[in-house]
Amino acid sequence: MELEKEILMLLESEKLYDKNLTVTINKLSNLTGMKKKEIEKKLDFLVRTKKIRLEDDKIQKIVQYETKAPTKRVENNQKAIGTIINQNGTIAVKLRGHNEFVCPLINAESAKNSVGKTCLVKIVFEDDKMKANLEDVFGFVDDPISENIAIASKYGFTNKFTDAVHNEALQIPQEVTDKQREGRVNLEHIPFITIDPEGCKDKDDAVFDEPVKNGFKAYIAIADVSSGVIPNTELDKEAMKRGNSAYLGGGVYPMLPPELSNGIFSLDEGKPRLALVASAIVTYDGKIENPRVEYAVINVKKSYSYPEAEKTYNNEDGFDVINKKSKKTLDFIYKNTKTLENVFSKMLEFDSHEPAYKFGENGKKVEQIFLSNEEYSHKVIETRMILANEIVAQFFKERGYVGLYRTHEGIKDDKAAALQNKLQQFGIEYTVENNTESIQNLIEIIKNHPARDYLMSETIKSLSKAGYTATEDKVAHFGLGVTNSDSGYMHFTSPIRRYADLITHRLLKEIIAGKKPSIKKSTLEKVAEHLNIQEKKADWAERESDEYLACMWAESQKGNELEGYISQINDTFVKVMTANGTVAIAVPLTRLYDANHEEYKVSKNGISLNGKTHKYTLGDTVKFKVVDIDLETRMIFGDASEEKVAEKSTTKNTQLEEEMLMIKK
């Protein structure tokens, strides 16, 4: 059966469907080393078992139709992405991620001029038969802009807002009024700075450190979105419905209309803005003293991008001269970040980075994928956001009120056991325990391993997902080292893009005003449940977008020699991860080095492939070339037939900027 699987994989990767049968048999014989008669027998078996069909002396793929079930469970009213096709004169949709299941369209007439384009459908069942109702049509699968819009739409995210929402947004003043200043502390004299991604238009946090004896007073100012987004308005209902912004391939599908998030709610340089400010004295021996929260008016004195802040601090490219006025403030903030890192030393440090994309003209091409979050300036902001969130949680606890807590359970026993097994495959003997110290020690071990990025990713995936709750006695956050006996942890710092933060702001303002919070605990629990669902949807959308963009980038790399390491072995193919562990390439065994006509066999423990003169082991470094990409299934196929370059190098792999997130397994 394994040979039949390999042949099916080769038919796909080598694009041998709909090719002359004789040509196909010759090609398969050359690729596998099998005799042509053997190939014919295997093909005959695949025809008899209805894996393929033979028509007009050509091998054709079996396409499932409405009487057969897709490989993944499909629910009634579920939304799905597919490609509009013309199958023997009938307009239908080929669903993505469901083994290319073909489903008839209810409203097929409206799609007859859109064959080949990506579409969004809603699945319905009529008389126990599955059909699809066409909801929207996008561009072709090789267009990153339209494909990302399609992915976002599948999960309910859009960059469009109703007229009612826009009209309410336009009623909000775009400048701070005298009326809004009433009852607020004026902190416009404080030289706040912002540090954000390049091109950022929605700056919702600003920071400043004031020198004090034996330490510093940290100020963290957050845009006061609650001043304009009023409960139960159309604007509020839409923000609640979305739950959070989604970020797909450099594009944002915002929670709030851009005229607000990029306007009055953005802490722009030189403009008065309403804010909630968390502050505390941090001593150099790691104590947090005099925490407080107040609503204020601020005026940012300097806006940096992450790279600009880094270059200014390091006196690079003349940025220290350009930003001479604000450099002293920046330098002091950088210096104090080391103290905050010590304060939060229990926090898990994965040293992981998000993918960022460089698109070609008109956004039609993915020219480069590189890793973001590499500058220390990210840590400067991250530590202060954590400080602010903990200050706010303490503020609630000290006053006896409940809010929306951000919690994280850690690692479950079955996940820990599975992770241990995977570590053993890579030669790491380690007992994984459900405590932060155990996971952090593992991270330190992984950092020096040649497969560090892949193993780091697997460790992260083993941990439970963080979420929201309004249960005050279950506030532990495993990743931050917060226990149930602590004050907990709340999200306060991103009200532009997270509804949970907006709820926290509303509660804070009531408490500061001496009022009892008006949102009941039961309501908070319902909100938490909804936000957890929306966050998962955003994660799924972002992951799907990253997988697609990885394939688009791989298209431009066809024929180029790349380097990676083996992360998975079976008797059909090996999975080769690019050097920083972000992209998986499926390499059939027939495309491995075979100068001596090797016949590889998987070892009993599953960690190596053994041939007559060559051996491949998990973690081995190999050179490979991208030979084919299937944009619809998000699969990338490779060729590593040149001799492997090393075995388990103990040096850290060079990070290539062009690498990307892992594709679907």
Neighbours of 594 (CB within 10 A): 15
Q: Which of 120, 113, 117 is nearest to 139 (CA)?
A: 117
CB contact at 8 A, 297 and 186? yes
Q: Which of 556, 646, 636 is nearest to 593 (CA)?
A: 646
Residues forming a β-bridge with 283:
215
CB contact at 8 A, 139 and 120? no
Residue 404: per-residue pLDDT: 96
Instruction: Give burial (CB, 10 Å; 0-12/13-18/19+) of 466.
Output: middle
pTM for the structure as a whole? 0.82
Measured CA to CA, the distance from residue 415 to residue 432 in angstroms comes to 9
Residues forming a β-bridge with 655:
none
Q: Tokens for 105?
A: 């369209």
The DSSP bridge pattern shows strands 288-299 and 272-283 to be: antiparallel
The domain limits of the chain are: 2-61, 163-399+476-518, 557-639
Q: Is 371 left (phi over 0), alpha (psi -120 to 50) or beta?
A: beta
Measured CA to CA, the distance from residue 457 to residue 403 in angstroms comes to 32
**Architecture of the domain spanning 557-639:** Beta Barrel (2.40)
In the Cβ-directed half-sphere of 559, how many Cα atoms lie within 13 Å? 1
Which residues have C-beta within 8 Å of that of residue 517, sequence separation ≥ 6?
Answer: 401, 402, 403, 507, 510, 511
Q: Which residue has the tokens 């850690």?
A: 410
The DSSP bridge pattern shows strands 193-196 and 302-305 to be: parallel
Residue 656: per-residue pLDDT: 24
Measured CA to CA, the distance from residue 608 to residue 519 in angstroms comes to 58
| Rg, C-alpha atoms of the chain | 28
Helices (H) and strands (E) in the chain, counts: 17, 28
Residue 64: per-residue pLDDT: 41
Residue 361: per-residue pLDDT: 76
Residue 553: per-residue pLDDT: 85
Q: In the chain, which residues have pLDDT < 50?
A: 1, 63-71, 646-665
Collapse the DSSP code of 590 into the 3-class scheme (helix H, G, I; strand E, B; otherwise coil) and give the result. Answer: helix
CATH 1.50.10 fits 2-61, yes or no: no
Mean pLDDT of the chain: 87
Residue 473: per-residue pLDDT: 85
Measured CA to CA, the distance from residue 431 to residue 420 in angstroms comes to 7
Q: Which of 426, 370, 392, 388 is nearest to 218 (CA)?
A: 388
Residue 19: per-residue pLDDT: 83
Residue 156: per-residue pLDDT: 93
CB contact at 8 A, 255 and 225? no
Residue 45: per-residue pLDDT: 76
Read out DSSP for 228-249? TS-TTSHHHHHHHHH-B-EEET
166 membership: H or E segment, kind and range? helix 163-170
Which residues have C-beta within 8 Å of that of residue 9, sequence separation ≥ 6?
Answer: 572, 573, 586, 588
**Contacts of range 145-148, beta carbons closer than 8 Å, 24 or more positions apart:** 145/251, 145/363, 145/364, 146/118, 147/118, 147/548, 148/248, 148/249, 148/251, 148/545, 148/548
Q: Tokens for 152?
A: 């976002």
pLDDT > 90 in the chain, percent: 52
